[in-house]
Structure 1
Amino acid sequence: MSIARDKQAYAVLTCLLFLNVALDLGAGFSIRGYWPDRILFYLWLIGTVYIIVRYYKEKFVKIYTWVLVALTVLSTIPMMIPFLTIVGAGFARDTQFRKVLPGNYRVQMGGKSPIGNRIFEVIKGLGPVERLEGTANMNRLEKDLGTAKLEDIQSVKVLQMWRDSSRIELQFPDTTVQFLFDKK
């Protein structure tokens, strides 16, 4: 590949990664499924190493390399939380439980931060993308579940949706639980 093609391919990968992150954080939309986000991240990471190794002699690549190094080092200063979060999410260590349900729903339990509370997420598949229907703090949810276990969940039904929350019904073999989920 020529240098122009390499840079264009890397620029497209970088834009896709930033678009995915912005849509996920801003609107709750993401690429459908669990692994496509990870694969996009891995491709970007491999592309970054390739660009740096292959074209390090160029001034822009040197500046870009040192900006990435500086941002990584700076992110480790406040107790390494952002760095550990990126590493945990990039290597799929942020999800402790995941189950695909009927109606293009997926539920999962994990944590976005190494020191934060565990969260339970309900995600709806919409063709090639997915939308976060709601999140709940696991401590609050476990109190409402009683003896029901998340592993036994059979289906999910969104009863009402508002801008910042939604009422979702969780169906278990012997009980049904309605819970108010947050949107972020």
Structure 2
Amino acid sequence: MDQGVAALIAAGFGVLGTVVGGAAAVWGAKIGAERSAQAVKQQVKDQAAAEHAHWLRQQRLEAYERFDDNYSQLSRLVVRIEGDISSAPDLIRDLARCSSRIDILGPLEVSFRAVQIATALGVRIAELHMLRRMESGGDGESSEEYSQLVSQLRDENDAANRWDEYHRGFVQAAQKVMGSHLA
């Protein structure tokens, strides 16, 4: 074989190697770019999920704190045997608003506990209000029916005296959600 033909064959293999190598490089670059794009998409999704989780955590924390602040004010009011309870209706409304916000933010366990507290304290306030009206004679002489209503409210609503227990359950559930409970 003469040198010209050998050089031509070598050049042909060189061109073929260059074409195959270039195609492989393009294919490899394409696969790398696709994987990189998928990784970036996943990173964006993960970041969005993390930011949403952080936002939800902050919203829950604010709602739980506000509910607990209202609970504290109201519970101090209902433990007093004597004293003015005229601010109780406003405090109950605030507690109910906070409970509604917790219903939205969840989770269900914390929402359930908040409703238990609001209901128990509402019943307790109603009971105190009725007792004070009976004691003051503001409605005239107390009727037997009114006295029975107060007794029935007290007897049927054992929950009215369990608000502190419900609050402990609320705090435990909130700590669990917030990840701050001690194991």
TM-score bracket, normalised by the shorter chain, equals 0.3 to 0.5
- TM-score (structure 2 length as normaliser): 0.32
- TM-score (structure 1 length as normaliser): 0.32
User: Which structure: greater strand fraction?
Assistant: 1
**Structure ranking higher on relative contact order (CA contacts 8 Å, 6+ apart):** 2
**Greater Rg by CA:** 2
